[in-house]
Amino acid sequence: MNSDEFRKYGHEVVEWIARYYDNIEQYPVKSRSLPGSVKAQLPGGPPSESQPFDTFLKDFDEIILPGITHWQSPNFFAYFPANSSPPSVLAEMLTAALGTQCMIWETSPAAAELEERMMEWLRDMTGLPECFEGVIQDTASTATLVALLTAREKASSFRSNRTGLFSTATMRVYCSSQSHSSVEKGAGIAGIGRENVVRIPVREDFSLDPAELRKAIETDLAAGHIPCCVVATIGTTGTTAIDPLRMIGEICSEKGVWLHVDAALGGTALLLPEMRWMADGIEYADSLVFNPHKWMFTNFDCSAYFVRDAASLIRTFDILPEYLRTRTRGQVNDYRDWGVQLGRRFRALKLWAVIRTFGVDQLRAMIREHLRLAKMLAGMIGADREYRIMAPVHLNTVCFRWQPPDVTEDEADRLNEKLNHSLNDTGKIYLSHTRVEGRYILRMVTAQTTVEERHVAEAWRLIRETASAISSKGRAVDID
């Protein structure tokens, strides 16, 4: 592709993206592809001769797009937000054009210094302690792994990287029964062992019970284990529960255990001063992660990882082959020493574009609106006697359940599952589910970049309409 062709197709692609965003509500939100149907349309091998780019764009429209679930649709209410936005898309194009490897300062000084500055901006925007230093990781899963590895190194007096874990007593990691699966995965990868993740019971609001945490740590200490890390969550994935950071932090500080805060989803709400109660006790935290690639309008991937003691982090990860010895070492941040990867993408650029183009005030206004929409939806659902709100609504997610009168809990499970599939099959909206105390519940997340009140109100109307169609059919035939 020469530069004239690049220019021609570049304009076409940008035009495609603009049209896509304009018309996004016309696509079925959840892809209707059947298993194997996309692959069956793709040739078994690559072409040996050059093909015109037009054919790529045509196949993108005809083969790929039907197999896409539209996460940027304002009618996407499933899982969690994975927001993108126009400034993020444009900056990502520039990142791809530069193709920079951001492993050390020397391999692109601007990338390293912009990353350092962006992490300071994010830290200050969210009111995190000034002593925190940040680095962009690909995902929260990686950031949590990095926290576990650093905690493991500290707990073994920096021996485990050198000698392996064989010479130490069993290490233990604590999190609530509602914590994200990345904690268990990370503990496995870190050699701590998945079975050494202690799932602490939760209180009525699904937040970690600190009395149970204290008991678990004391039992482990008495058994000769090494308590290594506690992972507290601000906004669990299932029900957005908020763990009591201060009480957990006091225990960690007393016992000398690393405290990592998983705020992957909820962290963005710390932009709002009125939501900072969630981080009360943050002065006890050793590390925190939150994902601008979830709720802060920055396309995947971009996960902000903050640490109190960057020296321990670097001591865990640095390794210095001859070809990476530079004259600037020690004066600048070489981010390959701040995580698992050597090669790193230039992710700070899109963050810079997003923060500047929206401005902090507008970012705050959008997050605030998402919180308002969740409360509004919870109000509408709560006012209907056939529905129940199943968890406190602190953030952008409403967990609810359809519970028609005279229906057993088991029948209601089946009805809610049926309602979920019927709604998603319409293509008009997309919801997901979880289980709370064994019960099937629906989750609706009101945090897409372009979601408005009308989308939420229409979704609720559709939910009720679909549910009554199911129940009248159920009466006519048989509920199943």
Ligand X SMILES: *Cc1c(COP(=O)(O)O)cnc(C)c1O
Residues that bind ligand X (CB under 6 A): 80, 139-141, 180, 182, 233, 235-237, 262, 264-265, 291, 303
Instruction: Give 160 or 233: the residue with its C-beta nearer to ligand X.
Output: 233
CB of 294 to ligand X, least distance (A): 6
CB of 79 to ligand X, least distance (A): 8
CB of 169 to ligand X, least distance (A): 28
CB of 81 to ligand X, least distance (A): 10
Instruction: Give 141 or 196: the residue with its C-beta nearer to ligand X.
Output: 141
Instruction: Give 350 or 418: the residue with its C-beta nearer to ligand X.
Output: 350
According to DSSP, residue 170 is labeled P
According to DSSP, residue 25 is labeled G
One-letter amino acid at 313 equals L
The answer to whether 471 and 429 are in contact (CB under 8 A) is no
Instruction: Give 160 or 448: the residue with its C-beta nearer to ligand X.
Output: 448
CB of 432 to ligand X, least distance (A): 13
Rounded CA-CA distance 69/47 in Å is 28
In Å, how far are 50, 58, 60, 377, 471 from 55, measured between CA atoms? 11, 5, 8, 44, 48
CB of 239 to ligand X, least distance (A): 11
Count the Cβ atoms, other than its own, within 10 Å of residue 426: 13
CB of 189 to ligand X, least distance (A): 13
Q: Return all residues near 177 (Cβ < 8 A) that are at least 6 apart.
A: 199, 200, 201, 202
CB of 471 to ligand X, least distance (A): 33
Count the Cβ atoms, other than its own, within 10 Å of residue 124: 12
Instruction: Give 212 or 262: the residue with its C-beta nearer to ligand X.
Output: 262
CB of 231 to ligand X, least distance (A): 9
Nearest to 313 by CA among 112, 121, 145: 145
Angle separating helix axes 210-222 and 245-255, nearest 10 degrees:
20
Nearest to 145 by CA among 191, 190, 176, 197: 190
Rounded CA-CA distance 471/469 in Å is 6
Q: Is 439 helix (H, G, I), strand (E, B) or coil?
A: strand
Instruction: Give 73 or 144: the residue with its C-beta nearer to ligand X.
Output: 144
Instruction: Give 156 or 179: the residue with its C-beta nearer to ligand X.
Output: 179
Rounded CA-CA distance 129/145 in Å is 22
Instruction: Give 228 or 304: the residue with its C-beta nearer to ligand X.
Output: 304
Nearest to 390 by CA among 136, 221, 196, 206: 206
Please list the alpha-helical segments (H only) found in 99-177.
109-125, 140-155, 160-163
Instruction: Give 234 or 363: the residue with its C-beta nearer to ligand X.
Output: 234
